[in-house]
Structure formats: C-alpha cells, structure tokens
Chain A
C-alpha cells in the first residue's frame, strides 16, 4: 500500500506561470488536505477536499489558488500567475475518514518561483 504520493517533488516556475501540484492519496482514502509551509514559518491549512467536493477552503488565498479532487485521478492544487511569495513547500495529507488527525502526509512539493 503506497503512501501519499506527491509530484513533482521540486517545481521551479517563473513569475506569471502556472503551477500544478498533484497529490495521490493512500488507497482507500477519500479525504485530502493541503497545507503550505512558507520559508521559516510553520505549516498552515489551505483546503480540505473530499472526492468531487471542497469541504473547507478557508485557508486558501482568495485569488490565483484553486484545488480539486476529481472522481478519478489525483487531487490538484493549482496556482495561477505565480509570484515569489508563493515559494514554499506544499504538503498533502489523506485520511480514510474526515478526521485530520488520522491523516498521513506526503513528501511535499517544493515550489520555487524565480
């Protein structure tokens, strides 16, 4: 049973480009959480999704950021028109139920905006 898979592990984008981060949850897990870790800062919640539904997006920046978790395929965190301040590590976690404390984390995607 593979763990939570995130790809790419490292992503470099120029300012203004789009970044797409993918998260494949553990088998049997239908709940996905995205967290962001800015340089020298702690982890912060971004969004919680269940298959085909956004349950809680209260941590998402209002503009340029979106997330989806389709019926088939991985969850995608999409950042449009990236800026330097988007440079961070983005972690995905999945859980079998809607209980964040039972979640398993992926290795993260480190986004660098140049």
Chain B
C-alpha cells in the first residue's frame, strides 16, 4: 500500500463544474503540498498546508490531520485547469524529503 493515495486517478469534467480531488496518507506528516503539472511542463506548487484550509482564486485546499486526509477543490472549472494534480507530503518518518501520490489527471472539456 502506498503511503500517499490519491483519488480519482482520472477525472473528466465539463467547464464550470465543481471538482474535488482527494489525498489520503497513512503516517504522520509535517506538511502537505498540492502540485500542478501540465503536459510536458514543470511542477508548480499550488498550496502548502499543515492544518485547516487555504484559498487562492478558484482553488481551495483543506486538510484534516486527525483523519489523515486532504482535498483540493476547483470551483467553476475551466479547460486551462486541465493538468495532473499531485499530492505530496513531508512524512515524519522520511526526514526532509517529499513522498508523492500517483497524481490525478484532470481534463476539463469546454
């Protein structure tokens, strides 16, 4: 079992829909990242969370430390949101490196 699990693996939505991507982890963490990767592109950090909720534009990220779960929400989705979204955690057991989920491929159709 992976230490970081994401769901769904693939997600197709119509423009304007509300989108949720989930991330669960199995051990204690110091913090959690949500990352975005466009095809053939670099990696952009969207959020870093250690508790609570953060919002940036149409993106919202939440984390529940007790339940070991985080969600990334996209409101009013747009085709330019199409990308791979990756959850990454700093595990308390793994020193100072990141452990990644497998990613969620999001496609938003016009």
Tally of A-B residue pairs with Cβ under 8 A?
67
Which residues of chain B have C-beta atoms less than 8 A from A44's C-beta?
100
A35 contacts partner chain B, Cβ-Cβ < 8 Å: yes
Contact A42 B102 (CB under 8 A): yes
Q: How many residues of A contact B (CB 8 A)?
A: 26
Contact B97 A105 (CB under 8 A): no
A69 contacts partner chain B, Cβ-Cβ < 8 Å: no
Contact B97 A108 (CB under 8 A): no
Q: Choose one: A31, A35, A104; the contact of B98 (CB below 8 Å).
A: A35
Q: Among residues 45 to 61 in chain A, which have CB atoms less than 8 Å away from a CB atom of chain B?
A: 45, 48, 55-56, 59
Name which residue of chain A comes closest to B94, CB basis. A45
A interface residues with partner B (beta carbon < 8 Å): 31, 33, 35, 41-45, 48, 55-56, 59, 91, 93, 98-108, 110
Cα A48 to Cα B40 with chains together (Å): 24
Q: Choose one: B41, B45, B103; the contact of A42 (CB below 8 Å).
A: B103
B44 contacts partner chain A, Cβ-Cβ < 8 Å: yes
Stretch from B12-20, B29-37, B53-61, B67-75 that touches the partner: B29-37
Contact B32 A101 (CB under 8 A): yes
Contact A101 B102 (CB under 8 A): no
Contact B86 A43 (CB under 8 A): yes
Contact B99 A45 (CB under 8 A): yes
Name which residue of chain B comes closest to A45, CB basis. B97
